[in-house]
């Protein structure tokens, strides 16, 4: 099983990488965007980037380190945006709409991101996997919980379990990107177009916001 | 990239397999249920089943054939149940509730099933991948479309795009099983317990059914 054995104390941000390191990460992102599984070799990356594969070892210590750096680059931005969103002076309703669009847009840019995270978390048995959950899952879950609580406090949202909400919303936002090769067979087009991205944002927003904004039935549900 | 090169004309049902073939599939299912990626070797299967790995070649032609048979065994049942559900003499509201529970229960039994299907569909370029989409995605999508149309016709459901509905609902139902190793870090328990399965069914049903059952706003949404 692929496992990450180490996690840098503080993952690098995009702008802290050298141009060659950035080119290697861009190449890995391009390859993974075309594939349905996290399956990539150093020679794939060398071919895509035009750089020597030894640079992967030099900059990232190897393939796993490169995948970790790629995940951090995409996911840190998402976490920072989410923590900023929670503190913004807009309504909880507006925050949740922005969050749902933001998640789908993140997966639109990096359709491999959710699978890459679960590949790095692995079977949950390594310390590094735990740190990834701690760095990238907990902040998103906490921010969602805060927005849900703000919405209940303002009288806009029905109460919803934040942990179950995290799992179902992530799955709903991600799945069209995971299943994009199925689209090829259904629609003759194997990627999510910009028009489809917009319709999907509208769809997932409608599903989640309608329920959040509908008061729960007065009697305890059976 | 892993690719399936062939697909049997008519995949075998569970009861058509010999006891040894069934034991091999059960072993593969047990291994994949513990793992987060579709990563399995013939020696894993031999060790888990206590059978000689040469039997995988004998019964299934190899590893890919075994994975295809495992997917067919689980997925055929889901498709048959779904096609039966559409024709049942119960309300569209009841059908959709049964369907959502059924999807989550399928992933509870076979938490690898959605990933296995996408592994077999691959990057969408093989004929076999297309056949899997045709055998297992289209019937589910068509059945969902039929139930959604029945619900709109009966005045119970708001109109929802069935294709987008297929993608978001599948993701929502599956994701807690995909992310189950994250649960280990969040809750100290790395699998979906029966209690959590029940709460998740209730959660996803609440999210989707509330929206379906709420009339759309009278004005065209902006």
Probe site for chain B from A31, A37, A129 (most B CB atoms < 10 A):
A37
Which positions in chain A touch B176 (Cβ < 8 Å)?
Answer: 164, 167-168, 171
Tell me the pLDDT tens digit for each residue of B130-146.
888 888 999 999 999 99
Predicted local distance difference test score (pLDDT) of residue B13: 55
A173·B173 Cβ contact <8 A: no
Tell me the pLDDT tens digit for each residue of B53-93.
999 999 999 999 999 999 999 999 899 999 999 999 999 99
Architecture of the B64-213 domain: Orthogonal Bundle (1.10)
Predicted local distance difference test score (pLDDT) of residue B185: 75
Which of A93-107, A116-130, A174-188, B17-31 is modeled with the greatest confidence? A93-107
Where do the domains of chain B lie?
Answer: 64-213
A174·B170 Cβ contact <8 A: no
Minimum CA–CA partner of A34 in chain B: B123
| Cβ neighbours, 10 Å, residue B155 | 8
Sign of CA dihedral A72, A78, A81, A82: negative
Predicted local distance difference test score (pLDDT) of residue A1: 38
Residue in B124, B175, B185 closest to A181 by CB: B124
A30 lies within 8 A of chain B by CB: no
Predicted local distance difference test score (pLDDT) of residue B9: 47
Residue in A36, A199, A211 closest to B118 by CB: A36
Q: How far is A137 from chain B (nearest CA, A)?
A: 8
Predicted local distance difference test score (pLDDT) of residue B20: 93
Residue B218 pLDDT level (bands cut at 50, 70, 90):
confident
CA dist A91 and A94 (Å) reads 5
CA dist B101 and B148 (Å) reads 16
Structure tokens at B29: 């299912």
Cα distances (Å, whole numbers) of residue B187 to A148, A163, B64, B126: 20, 10, 35, 40
B118 lies within 8 A of chain A by CB: yes
Predicted local distance difference test score (pLDDT) of residue A21: 94
**Residue pair B2/B123 in contact by the 8 Å Cβ criterion:** no
Predicted local distance difference test score (pLDDT) of residue A222: 47
Cβ-Cβ contacts under 8 Å for A163 (sequence gap 6 or more): A141, B186
Which positions in chain A touch B185 (Cβ < 8 Å)?
Answer: 121, 124, 129-130, 133-134, 137
A176·B171 Cβ contact <8 A: yes
Which positions in chain B touch A39 (Cβ < 8 Å)?
Answer: 1-2
Higher pLDDT residue, B107 or A6?
B107
| Cβ neighbours, 10 Å, residue B13 | 12
CA dist A170 and A178 (Å) reads 12
- Whether the predicted pLDDT of B191 surpasses 70: yes
Which positions in chain A touch B211 (Cβ < 8 Å)?
Answer: 206-208, 210-211, 214
Probe site for chain A from B131, B148, B206, B212 (most A CB atoms < 10 A):
B206
Predicted local distance difference test score (pLDDT) of residue B181: 80
Considering only CA atoms, which of B208, B105, B219 is closest in space to residue B166? Answer: B208
Tell me the pLDDT tens digit for each residue of A46-95.
999 999 999 999 999 999 999 999 999 999 989 999 999 999 999 999 99
Higher pLDDT residue, A130 or A94?
A94
B179·A167 Cβ contact <8 A: yes
Predicted local distance difference test score (pLDDT) of residue B36: 76
Place of tokens 């393939």: A63
| Candidate from A73-82, B7-16, B176-185 with smallest mean pLDDT | B7-16
Cα distances (Å, whole numbers) of residue A84 to A143, A147, A191, B64: 9, 12, 30, 46
Q: What is the mean pLDDT of residues B194-205?
A: 97
Q: What is the mean pLDDT of residues B161-188?
A: 90
Q: What is the mean pLDDT of residues B33-42?
A: 87
Q: What is the mean pLDDT of residues B189-217?
A: 94
Q: What is the mean pLDDT of residues A145-156?
A: 98
**Residue pair B3/B126 in contact by the 8 Å Cβ criterion:** yes
């Amino acid at each position: 099983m692929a496992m990450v054995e180490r996690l840098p104390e503080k993952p690098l941000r995009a702008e802290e990488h050298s141009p060659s390191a950035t080119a290697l990460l861009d190449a890995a992102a391009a390859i993974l965007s075309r594939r349905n599984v996290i399956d990539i070799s150093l020679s794939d990356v060398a071919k895509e980037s035009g750089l020597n594969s030894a640079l992967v070892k030099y900059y990232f210590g190897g393939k796993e380190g490169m995948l970790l750096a790629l995940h951090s680059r995409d996911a840190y931005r998402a976490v920072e945006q989410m923590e900023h969103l929670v503190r913004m002076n807009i309504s909880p309703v507006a925050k949740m709409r922005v969050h749902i669009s933001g998640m789908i847009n993140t997966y639109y840019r990096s359709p491999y991101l959710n699978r890459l995270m679960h590949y790095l978390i692995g079977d949950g048995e390594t310390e590094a996997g735990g740190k990834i959950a701690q760095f990238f899952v907990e902040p998103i879950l906490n921010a969602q919980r805060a927005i849900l609580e703000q919405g209940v406090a303002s009288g806009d949202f029905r109460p919803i379990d934040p942990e179950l909400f995290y799992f179902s919303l992530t799955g709903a936002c991600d799945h069209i990107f995971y299943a994009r090769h199925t689209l090829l067979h259904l629609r003759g087009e194997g990627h999510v177009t910009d028009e489809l991205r917009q319709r999907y944002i509208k769809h997932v927003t409608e599903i989640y916001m309608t329920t959040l904004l509908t008061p729960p039935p007065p009697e305890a549900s059976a």
